Structure 1
Amino acid sequence: MLKGIPVSAGISIAPVLRLTHETAITQAESITPVDTTQELGLLSKSVEQAREQLEKLKEQTEEQLGSEKAAILSAHIAFLDDPAFVGEMSALIENQQLAASTAVSQVADQFIALFESMDDAYMKERADDIRDVSRRLIRNISGGDTVISYPEEPFILVAWDVTPSETLQLPLQHVRGIVTAKGGATSHAAILARSLGIPAVMGAGDALMEKVDSGSLLIIDGTSGQLIVSPDTGTLATYQEKAAQEEKERQLYEAIKELPAETTDGHCVHLMANMAVPEESDALIESGVEGIGLFRSEFLFMDRSTLPDEAEQFAAYKHVAAAFGDKPVIIRTLDVGGDKHLPALALPQEENPFLGFRAMRISLARPELFLVQLRALLRASAFGRLLIMFPMISHMEQLREAKRLLEQAKAELRAEGIAFDENIAVGMMMEIPGACLQADVFAKEVDFFSIGTNDLVQYTLAVDRMNANIAELYSYYHPAVLRLISQVIEASHRAGIWTGLCGEMAGDPLATKLLLGLGLDEFSGAASVMPKVKERIRSTSLEEAKRLAEHVLTLSTVDEVVQYLKDRAL
């Protein structure tokens, strides 16, 4: 049995189609000075061909799958216009007398190494976009085929990696799953797989290509990440039964997709989705969620060496706001630092970055940067129901300064005659214990809270959530964490505002009844798990959930909490 990173839920059973990519894009090949003009011409022609190919693929994708999925290709086209990318290739041809294909390979390797060296997962996986563009350029230079031929029968694609353009060209009527040796959950290929509903497992390692051959029967579990090659009869029967049960659940969730998240005694809460990139809009709308509970705006800042200007940010925020119409879209202002690095800002190295210069601390230290984002957000608010959320607030002074800058941005737009939502709601993340203990004070100055349990657990329990050596200590079921959550919700309700939760806990069905009983107003998690959360909500009463939560708050250990919930909340 092999195992990888589960990136798109679902069980699939089908024969393997193994796609082999060259591990080294090309051999280094020197040329004589007299060939330089010819090689520059080959590179220029290849770039123009790639642009035409990508524009055509983008047009086809827009027609067949929608503009959201086609937007990924715009980033690839932008690489072709980047002087730091194509310009460096030309420089290598001129200065080092390299063949065009070798120049492409060397520059691509430099960019790939740069991205893969970054700690942030989203940035790390932008290396796939470089691979995609560079492979296309080299195939054009060599005269190779840029279109892959697929069988007209069901198959699971197995490859070292799969580029976004290759994912978009898959025959949806036949592909049953995607498995790669490299990659992860935030790659564009993974995002596309989720939006297309294709079960996928990525990052399975070198053993994948050693043990899996074309034609082999393969079982993939996109929820657990398990891969079973050539299963025996018993295993095959077990997974066929699981797949059938999964299909029954899918049909059940489809039946309740448009129904409210309402308890048996008539209490309604809101189910939202977390969102990383605009390309996910179509799939999230289709999933039936009521809006976006957390849109991570840092995606605009992280895949680049320069900061996005107001126009670019406005276009992105407007696109998402307009796509969701009257459904709420909560956009969190820039949250970088900690485990998320920003090349354009050249942030200092810190011994303890999670307690250092990050998120709102950066925004307030760079008001000129923050004002650009606030202006873009306000302008986008005229095109949908947009809410603004400030991250990593620990001091009241920070919140008040952020609100002052927001008012300054509003005044500037009024003076310029630019429309925006004058009554735009403003909230804050509750992810620092100190802020939670002052929830009653903060509640008087914002319109809503959103509890970020991922960081709240880390800061409350002094546990690095990225450290495998102490992973067993990290749990949002710790009684101290639950008491903070309860305190925040109670304080918000006393002040007449609502509280949401946008950490992993929101999508954990075991926690649903507990959070409901604690009074949570909004759940925001991965769209793939929210149907199960809705089913839990619709099968219980608020009074029953309150009794359960009241007892849980008297328990002393994580094990006691988890066991009690397993006995009574499922």
Structure 2
Amino acid sequence: MASRTLFGIPVSAGIAIGRAYYLNKSHFSGTVRQTVSDADVPFEIERLNRAFDDALHDLERILTLVPEDLKEHSAIIESHLMMLRDQKFRKRALDHIALTKINAEWSLERAVGDVQEIFASIADEYLRQRMQDVRLVAERVLGKLVGGESGHQAIKHRAILLAHDLSPADTIELDVNKIMAFATAQGGKTSHAGILARSLQIPAVVGMEGLGDDLAEGGIIILDGFHGRIIIDPDEDELARYTDLQAQFEGYQATIMRSCHLPAETIDGYRVQVLANIELFEEVVAVNDNGGEGIGLFRSEYSYLNRDGMPTEDELTEIYMDMASLVAPKKLVIRTLDVGADKLMRMQSSAESNPALGLRAIRYCLKHREVFRTQLRAILKASVLGNVSIMFPMISGLQELVEVKKFYREVQEEMHAEGICFREDMPMGIMIEVPSAVITADFLAREVDFFSIGTNDLIQYSLGIDRTNKDVSYLYQPLHPAIVRSIKWVVDSAHRAGIEVCLCGELAADPFCIPVLMGMQVDSISLGPQSIPGIKRIVRQASMEECNALLKQVMASHSVARNNKLVREMIFRRFPEELMFYSSLVDD
């Protein structure tokens, strides 16, 4: 039998070779619409209420079972509990029963669909992926309605787990020691499945097309976490090749982990600070384990998601104080709210025609100042610990920044009047992620203490493409001359003003781009914790002399193809081992 290959999105690197185990827990695929009589409506409402309560009790029990080495899952499970306690989501489903006279199962599916329409209008990929949380919670409720067994205890031997989707609660109920790797049909790069895989340090692929329960369970498969694929029924040559690659990667991982706590300093003495991007409190453990030197981007949106109402000042203060204490003495950069929270909190059905360019980030905060004030006060309270910085996203120009700073000072004055302590000179920075901010970077640099270049959005806005759209994703070119020149201009503007500049986004984790960024003399980079060891190793093996020479060639080039060729030649010559383990290089 010839082998066949399925493709998805790689979210955790590595190779796994083993038997497949399919976890079929998607109950929605079998849900049918049934009309019920007026007399049966109370019964259906009671069924749905009982299912919500049972699912809630299940998750509360599972939360108590989280072992110490998987504590990073707790926050995600707690967010799912918050959704189950949210009466608005439950009421949506109950209203469908009462108003349209349909069965409980179908009403739950309708409620999920309502929420999905709202999430679809959100521009930010990370926040769009939180829709998966809603569906995972609904799956658990639906499981209680249909009375199906999870089958979680059925894995008797180590296997590669295949599933429609996978939540933290699923991993707690499973024996994780028997999971070699996993693939899911749902999810994206920023979905929880990816976070789970990286915390478990196992290979994983998500968003896999064609992954169904028709696959022969127990058959041998290869999961390639570098390139995002599964090979079903591999032949002898494929098995031999991947077995060899697996051994090489394990050796490479051992090597880079042994040196991950060394500074990222070139052979000729240039040092770049390597920080981490996180969204969950529990990810700090991974930052420390992988040699991170602080938190360059703490996405504060998670505290606002999947809850009934806005978080209070006390709640936010506790989160930020706990985070700063855990990170100390390393720095913690808190980015203020980067989403239109009214869509996420209150599930309003109004959708913007172009959400990526709409009321989001600092624009939303300036329009909803009470929400902004609450967060600013919480961050200022946490600043007394001495290692906290504040960062404002989506700043488009000087006038907007002046308005933000004016409101920020008003909040400080209020706290002074109330006798509340905070750090007067807490570092304040902005995200440079829209072309207008790039062009006026020299003006903006005089107003803040640091820049952070958000390359994901900057590339999309500068090149006019949506990198999540498969039809135009090929145009997402980090080494496009316009992008290289934009970043160089921002770095130079910052340094002329005497402030530091950090670069975050996917570029910071791409070995393909690191030598160019080093040639620009960025002060720090901020990336996912799991990428830190490999990037630090590249920096330590490089020299500024060769990085400067490469940058000079790239800056003189007007061609994306030539830039890619220049960088590829250097990487092949200087870092051949790293090339084997990064799909962005191997596939280009």
Q: Using structure 1 for the length normalisation, give the TM-score.
A: 0.89
- What are the residue-to-residue correspondences of 1:24-423 with 2, within 5 Å? 24=29, 26-28=31-33, 42-61=47-66, 63-66=68-71, 68-90=72-94, 104=108, 107-108=111-112, 110-111=114-115, 115=119, 120-141=124-145, 144-145=148-149, 148-205=152-209, 207-209=210-212, 212-303=215-306, 306-336=309-339, 342=344, 344=346, 353-383=355-385, 385-423=387-425
Preserved contact between residue 131 and residue 163 of structure 1 (Cα < 8 Å): no
Other-structure match for 1:19: 23
Amino acid at match of 1:433: P
Amino acid at match of 1:57: I
Change (3 A) 1:494 1:96: closer
Other-structure match for 1:427: 429
Give the superposed CA RMSD: 3.1
Supply the distance in 1 between the matched residues of 2:421 and 2:558 (Cα, whole angstroms). Answer: 52
- CA displacement 1:185-216 (0-9 Å, x = unmatched): 233233222222121111112x2216622111
What SS does structure 2 have at the residue aligned with 1:294? strand
> How far 1:15 moved relative to its partner?
0.3
Amino acid at match of 2:172: L
Change (3 A) 1:454 1:137: closer
> How far 1:521 moved relative to its partner?
0.8
Change (3 A) 1:345 1:389: farther
- CA displacement 1:403-453 (0-9 Å, x = unmatched): 222222222223333333322110112223343333333222211111122
What SS does structure 1 have at the residue aligned with 2:11? strand
Preserved contact between residue 47 and residue 145 of structure 2 (Cα < 8 Å): yes
Supply the distance in 1 between the matched residues of 2:157 and 2:344 (Cα, whole angstroms). Answer: 44
Identity of aligned residues (%): 38
Preserved contact between residue 481 and residue 558 of structure 2 (Cα < 8 Å): yes
Preserved contact between residue 150 and residue 171 of structure 1 (Cα < 8 Å): no
> How far 1:58 moved relative to its partner?
0.5
Change (3 A) 1:25 1:243: same
Moved more, 230-239 or 533-542: 533-542
- Give unmatched runs, 5+ long, in structure 1: none
Preserved contact between residue 13 and residue 217 of structure 1 (Cα < 8 Å): yes
Q: Using structure 2 for the length normalisation, give the TM-score.
A: 0.86
What SS does structure 1 have at the residue aligned with 2:211? helix
Change (3 A) 1:552 1:103: closer
Supply the distance in 2 between the matched residues of 1:349 and 1:487 (Cα, whole angstroms). Answer: 36
- CA displacement 1:311-343 (0-9 Å, x = unmatched): 3433433343233222212222222369x9656
What is the aligned residue count? 567
Supply the distance in 1 between the matched residues of 2:311 and 2:73 (Cα, whole angstroms). Answer: 21
Amino acid at match of 1:58: L
Preserved contact between residue 397 and residue 444 of structure 2 (Cα < 8 Å): no
Other-structure match for 1:506: 508
Other-structure match for 2:583: none
Amino acid at match of 1:17: Y
Work out which structure has the larger RCO, using CA pairs closer than 8 Å and 6 or more positions apart in sequence: 2
Moved more, 347-356 or 152-161: 347-356
Supply the distance in 2 between the matched residues of 1:361 and 1:117 (Cα, whole angstroms). Answer: 17
Moved more, 258-267 or 378-387: 378-387
Supply the distance in 1 between the matched residues of 2:436 and 2:489 (Cα, whole angstroms). Answer: 12
> How far 1:262 moved relative to its partner?
0.9
Other-structure match for 1:549: 551
- CA displacement 1:137-158 (0-9 Å, x = unmatched): 3444555545621333210111
Supply the distance in 1 between the matched residues of 2:282 and 2:85 (Cα, whole angstroms). Answer: 21
Preserved contact between residue 325 and residue 385 of structure 1 (Cα < 8 Å): yes
Preserved contact between residue 121 and residue 351 of structure 2 (Cα < 8 Å): no
What SS does structure 1 have at the residue aligned with 2:223? strand
Change (3 A) 1:464 1:120: closer
> How far 1:121 moved relative to its partner?
3.8
Supply the distance in 2 between the matched residues of 1:200 and 1:461 (Cα, whole angstroms). Answer: 30
Supply the distance in 2 between the matched residues of 1:351 and 1:426 (Cα, whole angstroms). Answer: 32
Amino acid at match of 1:18: Y
Amino acid at match of 1:311: D
Preserved contact between residue 70 and residue 199 of structure 2 (Cα < 8 Å): no
Supply the distance in 2 between the matched residues of 1:475 and 1:230 (Cα, whole angstroms). Answer: 35
Amino acid at match of 1:546: N
> How far 1:372 moved relative to its partner?
1.9
Supply the distance in 1 between the matched residues of 2:386 and 2:267 (Cα, whole angstroms). Answer: 32
> How far 1:29 moved relative to its partner?
5.6
Supply the distance in 2 between the matched residues of 1:251 and 1:140 (Cα, whole angstroms). Answer: 44
- CA displacement 1:434-478 (0-9 Å, x = unmatched): 433333332222111111222333444445545555544432212
Supply the distance in 2 between the matched residues of 1:458 and 1:39 (Cα, whole angstroms). Answer: 47
Amino acid at match of 1:9: A
Supply the distance in 2 between the matched residues of 1:98 and 1:530 (Cα, whole angstroms). Answer: 51
Preserved contact between residue 20 and residue 218 of structure 2 (Cα < 8 Å): yes
Amino acid at match of 1:448: F
Amino acid at match of 1:420: F
Amino acid at match of 1:489: V
Change (3 A) 1:409 1:565: same
Supply the distance in 1 between the matched residues of 2:405 and 2:365 (Cα, whole angstroms). Answer: 12
What SS does structure 2 have at the residue aligned with 1:17? strand
